[in-house]
Amino acid sequence: MPELPEVEVVRRGLARGVVGRTVDAVEATGARSIRRHADADEFGGAVVGRTVRRVDRRGKYLLLRLDDDSVLVAHLRMSGQLILTADATRPRARHTHVVLTFTDGGQLRFVDPRTFGELFVSATRSRDGAVVELASLGPEPLDRATTPAVLAARLTPRRTRLKSALLDQRTIAGIGNIYGDEIAFRAGLRHDHRTDSLTPAEVARLHAAMVEVLDAAVRCGGSSLADGQYVDVDGRAGTYQHEHAVFARAGEPCLRCGRTIERVRFAGRSTHFCPGCQH
């Protein structure tokens, strides 16, 4: 499932590939992918003729800012992919649900085998639009304004456990199961560490780990797991999965202390940690 690094890599690809281009036609064959719209015609009506001005990201959401001040929001969820092709005659991948054809003939294709992802247009001039999920998102982990003090203020008043807090998009945006485990490992904190007992030094370690892990993952093009579902706009896989310290390494030795990485079920999610390095 794409998290902040993967979505950021897609954002950069879209920023290079679609800004300045104008949508000429829309085919939306997958009704679930545009479920917030009445039908394909209504969705198409909001997008056709529009030029993409800028591409932003908020948490795991992509925001394609259009020239009428509306926003085409893309949420990849479990398995969504946005693929650019210059050649409209190139065969479409299975599970291609929405195709935007630009006036220059190229296409942006939304592929989504599990159909949890979606595209929708938010017709609003406000920054994040009238989209409930965006309005409630926590701060961006890689934003300079998100300092250790900001993180502390969001974590320590809450009586919850570290991984639950990291996965809660209202606490901090963009972190999911993979990076939640990797960040906790790098910070030396267990997934079930109580947030209201975090010391300033622990929050500082957690903040540094969050920035280092997410930055490194973006530089590697994100993590592509064995399911092969995450690729960038050019169809390329990321390489950060080779750098994972704990995620999907249960039964293997910790690269730092040699103890065996454990896997448990925590907060309904598969969770990986080192019993020697994390407390």
Q: Binding of Zn ion at residue 175 (CB under 5 A)?
A: no
Task: Please list every residue from 259 through 278 that binds Zn ion, using CB under 5 A.
Answer: 274, 276-277
Q: Binding of Zn ion at residue 184 (CB under 5 A)?
A: no
Q: Taking the mean position of all CA atoms in its chain, how far away is CA 152? A: 23
Among 1, 28, 66, 254, binds Zn ion (CB under 5 A): 254
Nearer to Zn ion, 124 or 260 (CB): 260
Selected catalytic residue, list 2, 5, 139, 141: 2
Q: Binding of Zn ion at residue 217 (CB under 5 A)?
A: no
Q: Binding of Zn ion at residue 14 (CB under 5 A)?
A: no
In the block, residue with structure tokens 């969050």: 210
Q: Binding of Zn ion at residue 256 (CB under 5 A)?
A: yes
| Measured CA angle at 146 (ends 144, 149), to 5 deg | 125
Nearest distance in Å: CB 188, Zn ion: 9
Cβ atoms 23, 43 nearer than 8 A: no
Q: Binding of Zn ion at residue 127 (CB under 5 A)?
A: no
Among 257, 260, 264, 270, binds Zn ion (CB under 5 A): 257
Nearer to Zn ion, 61 or 273 (CB): 273
Residue 3 annotated as catalytic: yes
Residue 163 annotated as catalytic: no
Nearer to Zn ion, 206 or 274 (CB): 274
Residue 202 annotated as catalytic: no
Nearest distance in Å: CB 261, Zn ion: 8
Q: Whole-angstrom Cα distance, residue 56 to residue 63?
A: 5
Residue 2 annotated as catalytic: yes
Nearer to Zn ion, 109 or 244 (CB): 244
Query: Could you tell me how many residues of this chain bind Zn ion (CB under 5 A)?
Result: 6
Of 42-50, 118-126, 167-175, 250-258, the window that binds Zn ion (rule: CB under 5 A) is 250-258
Positions in the binding site for Zn ion (CB under 5 A) = 254, 256-257, 274, 276-277
For the annotated catalytic residues, the residue numbers are: 2-3, 60, 269
